Amino acid sequence: MNAPALSAVIGQPVSRVDGPAKVTGTARYAAEFVPDGLAYASVVSATIPRGRIRALDTSAAEGMPGVLAVVSHRNAPKLPYLERDQRPPVDPKSGDQLRMFQDDKVLFNGQPVAVVIADSQQEADAAARCIGIAYDETEPTTTFDPGRGRPPSEETAKGGRPGAAGRGDGAAGLAEAATTVDVTYVQAREHHNAIEPHATIAQWDGDSLTLYDKSQWVQNVVVEIAHVFGIEAGKIRVISPFVGGAFGSALRTWPHVTIAAIAAKMTGRPVRVELSRRQLYHSVGFRPHTLQRVRLGAAPDGRLTAILQDAAAQVATYEEYAETTLQPAETTYSCPNVATAYRLVEMDTNSPCPMRGPGIVTGLYALEAAMDELAVALNVDPVALRLKNHADINEKTGLPWSSKALKACYETAAERFGWADRIAAPRSMRIGTDLVGYGMATAIYHADRAPAEAEVILFANGTAVVRTAASDMGPGTYTSITQIAADELGLPVEAIRFELGDSTLPMAPVHGGSITLVSVGSAVAEACAAVRQKLEALTGEGSIAERLRANGLDRLAASAKASPGEETKRYASSAFGAVFVEVRVDEGLGTLRVKRMTGAYDVGRVINPKIARSQCIGGMMGGLGMALMEAAEWDPRFGKVMNANLAEYLVPVCADTPALDVTFVPSEDTVLNPLGAKGLAEIAICGVAPAIANAVFHATGRRQRHIPIRPEDLIGT
Amino acid sequence: MIPGPFHYHRPTSVAEAVALLAAHGDDARPLAGGHSLIPMMKLRMAVPDHLVDLAAIPDLKGICEDGDRIVIGATTTQREVIGSDLLAARLPILAETARQIADPQIRTKGTFGGNVANGDPGNDMPALMQCLDAVYRLAGPDGSRTVPARDYYQGAYFTALEPGELLTAVEIPVPPAGHGYAYEKLKRKVGDYATAAAAVVLTLDGGTVATASIALTNVASTPLHAAAASALVIGTGLDAATLKAAADAAKAITDPATDGRGTAEYRREMAGVMVARALAKAMRRAKGA
């Protein structure tokens, strides 16, 4: 390892190495591969929330031009759906995954019930509309009724989402408090809505299967599909060089991947399944609607005596996706008495799944909004209250932090933002006719690392290739890993090509949970060190190219595996941040604009400040959407999202974008990994929504205990 | 999404266009900017057998002054409305309104005539035309006629236009020099239709309102000319009580739907706020002129 201070490449604002390919359109996404003889699929979705298919009339569709096959439970192959030895971390911990076309049951509105394969997408879509389906409906459960909430199953609890957790005595801590708050918050169901829709192309060659897929984890797709079809993993290859955004929606292997493979098998042609925007709302998960109650107790000096946080989240009936919603209650602040209770409310819906900052961002919304309410009740500054309760260690595990610069985040962000100018009383700041509000919140997201492997090949022409089966869904992995390799090999960035997104490459963990850089980056650094060692063993001197040529070699390769070790038992690791927001409210209209946002982050060593900033401003805008716009409009009559399109499901656009100020406080975490980084993705959306909600209260004096907050919430009395 | 099959016609005169529309009746639709019709065709919500493209008819284009009136040809684009020096001098509220329609791409293709003709209650120009007491020129197989904007709209997408008729131009009486005006529009997001919007044109006599006209966008199935609210402000100095009374009178005639832009209650309330703000802005402009 070079010492960071000596690095010429790490820490530089290198522009994206894949940027030219993306802006010129040569970067190829899953749906854009065109194998010879490609056929096109159109998925037919159920239109009832629960019941059985009584009759399915495919005769008209089968006779339409270009139609190759119509597949449903009546003619689909019976698939083994073998149990995996261990569920991948991206799947729910219990329940049964949806099985494609294996029976007549309908478990939610939008479930795939048939697929049409045709010579063109238009022919497939036209035929799909001509399939007649009669259902026997059963009484569905389509309302979110927290009274029906149940604790998670044992498997889910073991997976870190227990029904009850905490320390000390929550009730006693609340009883001894001089000041308490007891508040309830609602967070709406949100959808990922990445620009690129999910798509899979399946191509069989005998008993070998190639899948071009939008995926955050190509090697898990291999194992999953091997189990679904009962075939050897070695027969499957998954290719996913570019991902047009995902935010967690491409972590697991969804049913449409299986549909593509079934369709290709039955037609003997490569088949593309590309989900429509509307289908994405019932096909690839979402952030679940969550109701939370937070009770906080504090001593007269502001020290927390109790944190009690309960959450109830919607869940599908067939699969149990649960979140780490209540973890921030245990880790964010120092408090002797913490009690959390987690409940799941079953509904006839498709299964939710992780979405940026999964669980944490939800729990943190309620906790940080409640902390603001406590600060008001105590009449103390919200930043001072947080500093007073700073968690010097991780009190959930009792372990010291491997690094923590949260105090510097508060200080730096407050100063850059101008927090000192805030007049504490609500409704006391105005510009023109607008009310002005300042709000802030803490951000926290645990930093993890997983084993990873990489291969590095040096060539006699002076270039190098780095290979590992990672993904880059947009955060800049292509670039940051290239920088690490350039640094380790002493080569310019331009001399290095990073190959990823192919399951045949060396093992890489899931591209999610902000772990890619520290996991894959560490493996790449070690592989580089290994190849350098080999190089040094060669005779001769000079550049890499010169030494290879001197030894008559056209290439020199080395591989390495890097894994976390004992440090994970001795330390807790986390990224931290502080987010400050100014909002302007036009009280006549209830309209609310975020005017500016400042975030200071402790993410360890920053490999590329330009890309890191992009990650953070993207997260800020995701948080702005969560706070003010994004919500699935659910119709309980149909068990269906009614605004399943980007015209009616509002997301922030350029015109909504405030001045965004991002800064990274000095930090390095060489305990978590030798690179000193902590991972940067989830942290950037954490804390944004509560900071905005708190600013809305400060502006208006009206506490909004739900997100999104909409104009109509802010007018009238 | 791909539209259904259709026959494409490109007439070069109004007479030819009207003949085509009359010959094909309900199976034909005139095509101007296409920014309402083509999306509907792509969704197969409209499946016309015949499209009569108006782009090659020179008589339908342009803005001119005709005595005390401004005449705007139907296929004049919103962008041309925004860029017109004549309108900037005589009827600046037109550009103010056009700038708040959709986005630059749509304003570049979308036409003034299409906006007023098709009866979409979300369109902005119809209420403004009612505010200005504009008159629509319609050409049909039996000749031409005119219909006041205040009588043209019958329901969402239902208008006084008969099958075979074509809206060819809009005549707008020019308000006196120095008039006050404002088009206030509340949108949930950039490019959206109005949550509520209000158009105001007024003149002053000394410090008091001599004439006033108020109309509302997207708070009922048609644009609304708020006659009672308009009458109420005449003779006043637009004090706070008058503004509130005018807003209340305007709110009373609204019948908005609850939709993605807000609840009916919210949208009705916002119609009142838009009226009050438009009146106040128009007053400021009249005084400043």
Per-residue pLDDT reduced to its tens digit, A126-159 = 999 999 999 999 999 999 999 999 999 999 999 9
Residue B265 distance to chain A (closest CA, Å): 9
A 10 A CB-CB count for A223 gives 18
Residues in chain A within 8 Å Cβ distance of B263: 712
Q: Where in chain B is the domain with CATH 3.30.465.10?
A: 62-173
Mean pLDDT (chain A) is 96
Closest in B2, B262, B277 to A711, CB measured: B262
Q: Does residue B289 register a pLDDT over 90?
A: no
Q: Does any CB of chain B come closer than 8 Å to the CB of residue A432?
A: no
pLDDT given at position B2 = 83
Helices and strands per DSSP (H, E), number in chain B: 12, 14
Per DSSP (E only), the strands in A38-107 are: 39-45, 51-57, 67-72, 94-95, 105-106
pLDDT given at position A678 = 96
Q: Which 3 state secondary structure label does DSSP give A558?
A: strand
Determine whether the interchain pair B189/A650 forms a contact, defined as Cβ–Cβ distance below 8 Å: yes
Q: Where in chain A is the domain with CATH 3.90.1170.50?
A: 33-139+195-245+250-283
Alpha-carbon Rg for chain B, nearest whole angstrom, is 19
Q: Does any CB of chain A come closer than 8 Å to the CB of residue B5?
A: no
CATH 1.20.200.10 fits A19-28+450-563, yes or no: no
Determine whether the interchain pair A643/B265 forms a contact, defined as Cβ–Cβ distance below 8 Å: no
User: Could you give the CA distance from residue A587 to residue A713 in angstroms, rounded to a whole number?
Assistant: 10
**Residue A358 identity:** P
Per-residue pLDDT reduced to its tens digit, A358-384 = 999 999 999 999 999 999 999 999 999
Give φ, ψ of A301 to 5 degrees: -85, 5
Per-residue pLDDT reduced to its tens digit, B213-229 = 999 999 999 999 999 99
Q: Which 3 state secondary structure label does DSSP give B232?
A: helix
User: Could you give the CA distance from residue B169 to residue B135 in angstroms, rounded to a whole number?
Assistant: 9
Q: Does any CB of chain B come closer than 8 Å to the CB of residue A57?
A: no
Determine whether the interchain pair A716/B270 forms a contact, defined as Cβ–Cβ distance below 8 Å: no
End-to-end CA distance of chain B, in Å? 50
Determine whether the interchain pair A712/B262 forms a contact, defined as Cβ–Cβ distance below 8 Å: yes
Average pLDDT of the residues in A674-681: 95
What percent of chain A is predicted at pLDDT more than 90? Answer: 97
Closest-CA residue to A532 (of A432, A464, A619, A431) = A464
Average pLDDT of the residues in A297-311: 98
Residues in chain B within 8 Å Cβ distance of A710: 262
User: Could you give the CA distance from residue A213 to residue A240 in angstroms, rounded to a whole number?
Assistant: 5
Q: Where in chain A is the domain with CATH 3.30.365.10?
A: 19-28+450-563, 147-189+286-447+570-714
Tell how far CA A329 is from the center of its chain. 20
pLDDT given at position A572 = 98
Residues in chain A within 8 Å Cβ distance of B260: 633, 643, 648, 650
User: Could you give the CA distance from residue B61 to residue B70 in angstroms, rounded to a whole number?
Assistant: 13
Residues in chain A within 8 Å Cβ distance of B244: none
A 10 A CB-CB count for A232 gives 11
| Fold exhibited by the domain B62-173 | 3.30.465
Tell how far CA A343 is from the center of its chain. 22
Determine whether the interchain pair A711/B266 forms a contact, defined as Cβ–Cβ distance below 8 Å: yes
Q: Does any CB of chain B come closer than 8 Å to the CB of residue A493?
A: no
**Tokens describing residue A246:** 């995902």
pLDDT given at position B189 = 82
pLDDT given at position A401 = 98
Residues in chain B within 8 Å Cβ distance of A715: 266, 269
Non-local CB neighbours of B218 within 8 Å, separated by 6+ positions = B121, B122, B193, B194, B195, B196, B197, B256, B267
- DSSP output for B109-133: H-BHHHHHHS--TT-SHHHHHHHTT
Residue B288 distance to chain A (closest CA, Å): 20
Could you tell me which residue, A716 or A312, shows the higher pLDDT? Answer: A312
**Tokens describing residue A62:** 């089968």
Give φ, ψ of B104 to 5 degrees: -60, -40
pLDDT given at position A1 = 38
Q: Does residue A233 register a pLDDT over 60?
A: yes
Q: Does residue A5 register a pLDDT over 50?
A: no
Residues in chain B within 8 Å Cβ distance of A643: 260
Domain A147-189+286-447+570-714 classification at class level: alpha beta
Enumerate residues 696 to 715 of chain A having a beta carbon within 8 A of any beta carbon in chain B.
710-712, 715
Q: Does residue A582 register a pLDDT over 60?
A: yes
Q: Does any CB of chain A come closer than 8 Å to the CB of residue B269?
A: yes
Residue A712 distance to chain B (closest CA, Å): 6
Determine whether the interchain pair A589/B270 forms a contact, defined as Cβ–Cβ distance below 8 Å: yes
Closest-CA residue to A678 (of A667, A689, A686) = A667
- B1 — pLDDT class (breaks 50, 70, 90): confident
Q: Does any CB of chain B come closer than 8 Å to the CB of residue A648?
A: yes
For A33-139+195-245+250-283, the fitting CATH number among 3.65.10.10, 3.30.70.260, 2.60.290.11, 3.90.1170.50 is 3.90.1170.50
Closest in A588, A655, A712 to B273, CB measured: A588
User: Could you give the CA distance from residue A599 to residue A593 in angstroms, rounded to a whole number?
Assistant: 17
Residues in chain B within 8 Å Cβ distance of A645: none
Average pLDDT of the residues in A290-317: 98
Residue A715 distance to chain B (closest CA, Å): 8
Tokens 């703000």 label which residue? Answer: B277
Average pLDDT of the residues in A484-489: 96
User: Could you give the CA distance from residue B51 to residue A173 in angstroms, rounded to a whole number?
Assistant: 74
Determine whether the interchain pair A589/B273 forms a contact, defined as Cβ–Cβ distance below 8 Å: yes
Chain A residue with Cα closest to B187: A591
pLDDT given at position A465 = 98
Determine the residue among A274, A712, A714, A715 to mutate to test chain B binding: the one whose Cβ has the most chain B Cβ atoms within 10 Å. Answer: A712
Three-point CA angle A625, A615, A482, nearest 5° = 155
- B190 — pLDDT class (breaks 50, 70, 90): confident
CATH hierarchy code of domain B7-53: 3.30.43.10
Chain A residue with Cα closest to B184: A589
Tell how far CA B175 is from the center of its chain. 17
Per-residue pLDDT reduced to its tens digit, A77-94 = 999 999 999 999 999 999
Q: Does residue A515 register a pLDDT over 90?
A: yes
pLDDT given at position B99 = 97
Q: Does residue A667 register a pLDDT over 70?
A: yes
A 10 A CB-CB count for B224 gives 26
Q: Where in chain B is the domain with CATH 3.30.390.50?
A: 181-286
Chain A residue with Cα closest to B266: A712
Enumerate residues 578 to 597 of chain A having a beta carbon within 8 A of any beta carbon in chain B.
588-591
Determine whether the interchain pair B263/A712 forms a contact, defined as Cβ–Cβ distance below 8 Å: yes
CA atoms within 13 A on the CB side of A180: 17
User: Could you give the CA distance from residue A200 to residue A224 in angstroms, rounded to a whole number?
Assistant: 14
Q: Which 3 state secondary structure label does DSSP give B148?
A: strand
Determine whether A179 is exposed, middle or buried from the number of CB atoms within 10 Å of its CB (0-12, 13-18, 19+).
middle
Determine whether the interchain pair B265/A633 forms a contact, defined as Cβ–Cβ distance below 8 Å: no
Look up A232 and say whether it is catalytic: no
- A7 — pLDDT class (breaks 50, 70, 90): low
Chain A residue with Cα closest to B1: A122
Tokens 């190959």 label which residue? Answer: A499
What percent of chain B is predicted at pLDDT more than 90? Answer: 93
User: Could you give the CA distance from residue A76 to residue A510 in angstroms, rounded to a whole number?
Assistant: 31
- Three-state SS string over B187-204 comes to ECCCCCCEEEEEEEEEEE
Q: Global pTM?
A: 0.94
Residues in chain A: 717
Q: Where in chain B is the domain with CATH 3.30.43.10?
A: 7-53
Q: Does residue A596 register a pLDDT over 80?
A: yes
* A595: β partners: none
Closest-CA residue to A450 (of A519, A355, A357, A350) = A519
Q: Does residue A3 register a pLDDT over 70?
A: no
CATH hierarchy code of domain B181-286: 3.30.390.50
pLDDT given at position B188 = 87
Q: Does any CB of chain B come closer than 8 Å to the CB of residue A494?
A: no
Enumerate residues 76 to 115 of chain B having a beta carbon within 8 A of any beta carbon in chain A.
none
Determine the residue among B192, B266, B268, B279 to mutate to test chain A binding: the one whose Cβ has the most chain A Cβ atoms within 10 Å. Answer: B266
Determine whether the interchain pair B269/A715 forms a contact, defined as Cβ–Cβ distance below 8 Å: yes
Average pLDDT of the residues in A573-577: 98
Q: Is A66 left (phi over 0), alpha (psi -120 to 50) or beta?
A: left
Q: Does residue A295 register a pLDDT over 80?
A: yes
- What does DSSP assign to residue B4? P
Non-local CB neighbours of B212 within 8 Å, separated by 6+ positions = B200, B201, B202, B203, B230, B231, B233, B234, B279
Mean pLDDT (chain B) is 96
> Do the Cβ atoms of A541 and A547 come closer than 8 Å?
yes
End-to-end CA distance of chain A, in Å? 63
Residue A544 distance to chain B (closest CA, Å): 54
